Structure 1
């Protein structure tokens, strides 16, 4: 047990920057905040690699080859003999090796230090293997964390995880000082334009084509409207099929004659650029196609910075945009998106009211606040740490 006189040592398991991955950004943001809390040492991370190598920084204490099963056993042994008091497992099925990422269980089952698991994806209809993996991780963990309240029920009823094992914390949002919307629009040359935006990795599941189709009707009434699509193609998508999706979207823009009203920014945004893209926006769009999406970091950012959000009704959006914090359009429906966009652009008083409501929630989602809740959980876990067979560590 760690002495109360000593600082606590926490390590994370998952992808790590500079790998371009939302989960890697999530881990880094949390580690940066935990480092600022006086009773914690600078956190470390064990980086899970795909078939590429990365120039990692000093916070990476070890690496696991995604498909190298022996690495999982080796890492567990090293952690058991280290000064690490707690491991935080970031869970996505696709980043670990084996069927549905089952190799992560090799590490979890051999681990003798306590761990918590953060589930970034919670499927309503998992495969038997997916269900088994998540249930087993939760059984072995001190706590299983979700970032959506309505997924607590799924974790209990679908995955059979005991309710007392489940905790819910918001997806954190980084605090970045930036100029106002008016100042940013002036700097980028958009002073007289209504800006709509989407950011994140491009992939077919994002539904961007429906937002582009909606712009045709929007521009008929608001020729000053500009839809900016920020971000590179998802690395996995690009590796498998190249730029097919981006090309499809650019062809759609040309076909609809929207060259002046839709702009692609094909780059991986820095954290500062992400925040600037949101702050200069009048409307943030997430027209995703998958109704079971458990969490969206991009939507969390939009709420964190108090933007009007128009989204399709996937699970996370339904919860986060309740009580007048945003508008929900139908899936696969550009007409529905268009109607909601026009409603906001035509009614500035509605836009102002929605921004106020969204910011009220968003202010509670900043990493500086969310990390404090995680710190409480980390202390509780370490203080009550027992191995999985019931003997004190």
Structure 2
């Protein structure tokens, strides 16, 4: 069992240096935390892992889930996939899913309870459901925006009423908390048996800004697909990209991701590499689509036209399953993260690109500074098209 391979990774204070950063490795780290949370040292003494396995009968994951289109849904789904593959056959993984639309989503069977995000009583009923189901441990995926109430405070109607340990994974840790954000995160730290973050910077901010105790925090890097490294040419013909040098960005499309800067860098790159193409892969974020339709995508397309880049910038308006995403990622010669600000402690897209072995050019947001340190990628200043072009040209010319 992979858990045994990674059993040594928890430190005190717990920081995880994963030898295996695939979703199975992330599962292993989380499972270790579950054991330390669920069982005392006295319980573990003289008991084999297989014997302890039999004591965990049910794990609940609370968060978004595919087919909902968002990063938390993808994360939750992949974590559950890893849990189901690794836990004993006698155990059960169930999901409590958050809905942001009245009609809900066509979830798989593992989703046993749905919460309407703005309805307080749904959170109370979810707690009752998990208690009656005798769940051994609950793993909460936390992002302020997916829960109802002021700064997502409705979630407390759920987790304060649970009769099992709660592990909370934080997907956002604001450096300058607004409104009730600081109070909400502090309260999460008080209620949760463990807080899981995906970067050391997030851990530092939790202790310095939110006064969460160091021993309560575990750093478990974002999971990545377990795939072999393949030549970029392997899948290019499937997407009409044969004989092209491919720069790629993927993720749900919306303002605040720096795509404009990357487009502005393209004329200089094209002059040096006339066969280059920048692929912007991803559907428009559902909340952006609801508020403004495809206005943002159209603005990017107009910028492309003004710069005469129609042959060098391609939009793929798709939300892909993991297998299709990996094929697309494989085509990339360079992956680019052009985020315009520092305040991002985790990026799933960056993690996935590095996981499939891509060369990366990124702005120095917090997760990128950490992940790309020691020459693992090229960091360029924020909102600087010339520097972005220089970094990409360096990689394409090597």
- Alpha-carbon offset, residue 177 of structure 1: 6.3
Q: Tell me, in whole angstroms, the C-alpha distance in 2 between the residues paired with 1:22 and 1:169.
A: 17
Distance 1:177 1:59 in 2: 29
Q: Is contact 2:234–2:330 with CA below 8 Å preserved after alignment?
A: no
Give per-residue Cα distances to partners, 1:115-166, cap 9 Å, x unaligned: 1000000111112511111111111111001001111110011011011100
Match of 2:299 in 1: 248
Q: Please state if 1:20 is matched with 2:62.
A: no
Q: Deviations over 1:373-392 (max 9, x none)?
A: xxxxxxxxxxxxxxxxxxxx
Q: Does 1:61 align with 2:109?
A: no
Instruction: Name which of structure 1's ranges 3-12 and 110-119 shifts more when overlaid on structure 2.
Output: 3-12
Which residue in 2 is equivalent to 1:45?
95
TM-score for both structures, normalised by structure 2: 0.84
Aligned residues: CA RMSD? 1.6
Distance in 1 (CA, whole Å) between partners of 2:65 and 2:145 is: 14
CA contact (8 A) 1:292 1:315 kept: yes
Corresponding residue SS for 2:138: strand
- Residues 46 and 38 of structure 1: is their aligned pair in 2 closer, same or farther, counting only changes over 3 Å? closer
Query: Could you tell me how far 1:87 is from its partner in structure 2?
Result: 0.4
C-alpha distance in 1 between matches for 2:304 and 2:76: 36
Q: Residues of 2 paired with 1:285 and 1:262: CA distance? A: 14
- Partner Cα distance (2:201, 2:152) in 1: 24
* Corresponding residue number in structure 2 for 1:9: 58
Structure 2 equivalent of residue 369 of structure 1: none
Match of 1:36, SS state, is helix
Q: Secondary structure in 2 aligned to 1:159?
A: coil
Match of 2:211 in 1: 160
Q: Note if 1:132 corresponds to 2:183.
A: yes
1:113 alignment partner, SS class: coil
How much has 1:83 moved relative to structure 2? Answer: 2.3
Contact 1:176 1:272 (C-alpha < 8 Å) held by counterparts: no
Specify every segment of 5 or more residues in structure 1 that has no aligned partner in the other structure, as ranges: 349-393
CA contact (8 A) 1:285 1:310 kept: yes
- How far, CA to CA, are the matches of 2:254 and 2:240 in structure 1? 28
Matches within 5 A, 1:1-393: 4=52, 5-39=54-88, 41-52=91-102, 53-176=104-227, 180-346=231-397, 348=398
Tell me by how many angstroms 1:267 deviates.
Answer: 1.0
Deviation at residue 190 of structure 1 after TM alignment: 2.8
CA contact (8 A) 2:235 2:331 kept: yes
CA offsets 1:267-310 (integer angstroms, 9 cap, x no match): 11121121112111110011012311111110000111111111
Q: Which piece of structure 1 moves more, 74-83 or 243-252? A: 74-83
Where do 5+ consecutive residues of structure 2 fail to align?
A: 1-37, 40-50
Please identify runs of 4+ aligned residues in structure 1 that moved more than 6 A: none
Please give the secondary structure, in 1, of the residue aligned with 2:211: coil
Secondary structure at the aligned position of 2:223 is classed as: coil
TM-score (ref. length: structure 1): 0.85
Corresponding residue for 2:42? none
SS of the residue corresponding to residue 320 of structure 2 reads coil
Alignment CA distance shift 1:345-1:178 (3 Å): closer
2:35 alignment partner in structure 1: none
Tell me, in whole angstroms, the C-alpha distance in 1 between the residues paired with 2:281 and 2:257: 12
SS in 2 for 1:31: helix
| Alpha-carbon distance, 1:172 to partner | 0.3
Asked if the contact 2:227–2:356 (Cα under 8 Å) also holds between the matched residues in 1, the reply is no
